[in-house]
Amino acid sequence: MSRPTEHAGYREVIYIGPPPPRPSNWLGAIGFFTTFLSCGVLSPVGLLLSLLALPGRPRSFALAGVVLGGLGTGLIVSAYYGMSQESRYLLNQGLTRATVQRLREAREVLQYQTETTGGVPDGVQGNKAILHLTDAWENSLRYDLHPEEHFYVVRSAGVDQQYETRDDLMVRVDYLPSDDEEEVSYRR
């Protein structure tokens, strides 16, 4: 009587009928084709499906889906970031124009006050005169008097909303000193 052959404790399996189906990884294939057929529009979904399919065997479609989905997702993210940068730039450009207009209004208010009082307002008076004016970011404008150099500056904090930084917007107004320097410098 013959016994089945045994090798290292394993029995040889003999199939009768059709061979067993090859293992498949449907989730990996779905992830790959989702990315591929949508031309990258649904690549984040395809990437997620392919990542979930990576532990299964075979991994070929899952790996291809991860690569293709990663590239498509990267393109989507970079396009979104580029558009958001452009829109922020355009928004800030419009806000900058509005702020420059408000700085001009503040200059006119200060020039009117100078003409009516006969002297350049000191720091407190100048800031009180333009207190009602704000820049496009709803921050108050600031008046800085420089009596030694005979000019004053009306300043907006700009995009970062911090004074004394590179993005500050300002209007400088030079004035002629009056005969009485004390009156110009320290008028209250």
Tally of domains in the chain: 2
Low-confidence ranges of the chain (pLDDT < 50): 1, 180-188
16 three-class SS: coil
- The model's pTM: 0.52
Residue 84 lies in a domain: no
| 101 lies in the same domain as 72 | no
Which is it for the CA torsion 131, 135, 140, 146, positive or negative? negative
CA distances (Å), 146 to each of 95, 103, 110, 125, 181, in order? 27, 17, 14, 14, 13
| 130 lies in the same domain as 55 | no
Q: How far apart, in whole angstroms, are the C-alpha atoms of residue 88 and residue 99? A: 16
Residue 91 lies in a domain: no
Neighbours of 102 (CB within 10 A): 19
Segment 160-180, tens digit of pLDDT: 888 888 888 999 998 877 654
Give residue 127's domain range. 97-186
